[in-house]
Amino acid sequence: MVGATLKERLEQQIKGRIVYGEPLGKYTSFGIGGPADIMVFPEGEADVRAALRLCREEGVPYLVLGGGSNLLVRDGGFRGVVLHLEGIFTQLNVAGRRVSAGAGVRLSRLVAFCSKLALSGVECLAGVPGSVGGAVRGNSGAFGGCIADHLVAVRLLTREGDEHVFSRDRLQFSYRRSSLPEGCVLLEAAFDLEQGDAGEIRRRISANLIQRNRGQPVEWRSAGSVFKNPPGEYAGRLVEKAGLKGVRVGGACISPKHGNFIINLGGATATDVLALIDLMQRQVREKMQVELELEVRVVGDD
């Protein structure tokens, strides 16, 4: 539990809003999650630096929350400080073919922004949930592309509060992974895009959205793909082969539409979801001898 000293120091040094006991389900695409001890809505980068420093000095864990996708918060919530990046962290700027996006910019907004400027390179992100910060950290993508394809630089704060700018050649990306420093707070990402035909860009975006809507349960709340695809296979197909599509625990259900999605039918708890995750991993391991690795990040306390 966070002590009174940290609360007092945060209130003295943070200009942004501070909320106590805020249910995190309000901020996740799953709609699931217990309360955060402290939730900070930084007014600017100085607030982020101050929060990181105070957490470090008080020995309190912190969690950075943007779009809230690809995240499952346990029912007990988060015993620490949650930094929710909005406001100034949702700015978009363009200079020629280079687009800079704050960490809190929703991917849907980035795609629409670039489309209006006839800048091509992020169409693969159409329909992908979440925000730029989380997408860069996890190298999100679809339709044969990923966010790292046109990334040229990121600006971030280390857990010590030091600011760094990393060019693309200093970072390593692979399938749903990046080499961003552990515990860092990504502030901004820059992309070098290609001037294209506005009509063709819109057509690619539309085609991607149609394909996504046809194959994924977009009408339900979820965290996106539960597992990473094993080499040469699709996690959803393995779950389907195991006969698990449509299986339900409490308010959570393995989507009948796509085996790699767990959907919230209403009132689902993290305990429900974790029970399904365990079932999926066990059944696929026993029947197909494949170990499914989580793509969804699980945080918090039971």
Residues 64-102 have pLDDT tens digits of 998 999 999 999 999 999 999 999 999 999 999 999 999
DSSP for residue 229: P
What pLDDT sits at residue 1?
A: 59
On the question of a common fold for 89-214 and 219-299, the answer reads no
Q: Degrees (nearest 5) of the Cα angle 201, 138, 66?
A: 85
Domain boundaries, the chain: 4-84, 89-214, 219-299
Nearest-angstrom CA–CA distance, 153 and 133: 12
What pLDDT sits at residue 15?
A: 97
Helices (H) and strands (E) counted in the chain, each on its own, are 7, 21
Instruction: Determine the CATH number of domain 4-84.
Output: 3.30.43.10
Give me the mean pLDDT over the 258-275 stretch. 98
Q: Is 225 a catalytic residue?
A: yes
Instruction: Determine the CATH number of domain 219-299.
Output: 3.90.78.10
Do residues 136 and 147 lie in contact, with contact meaning Cβ atoms separated by under 8 Å?
yes
Q: Is 188 a catalytic residue?
A: no
Specify the pTM: 0.92
What pLDDT sits at residue 144?
A: 87
Nearest-angstrom CA–CA distance, 216 and 225: 10
Marked catalytic residue, from 22, 123, 188, 295:
295
| b (16+ CB within 10 A) / e for 116-139 | eebbbbbbbbbbbbbbbbbbbbbb
Give me the mean pLDDT over the 46-68 stretch. 96
Residues 140-199 have pLDDT tens digits of 988 889 999 999 999 999 999 999 999 999 999 988 889 999 899 999 999 999 999 999
Marked catalytic residue, from 9, 17, 176, 297:
176
Marked catalytic residue, from 69, 131, 225, 255:
225
Q: Is 212 a catalytic residue?
A: no
Among 268, 172, 283, residue whose Cα is nearest residue 221: 268
Percentage of the residues of the chain whose pLDDT score is greater than 90: 94
The residue type of 203 is R
Instruction: Determine the CATH number of domain 89-214.
Output: 3.30.465.10
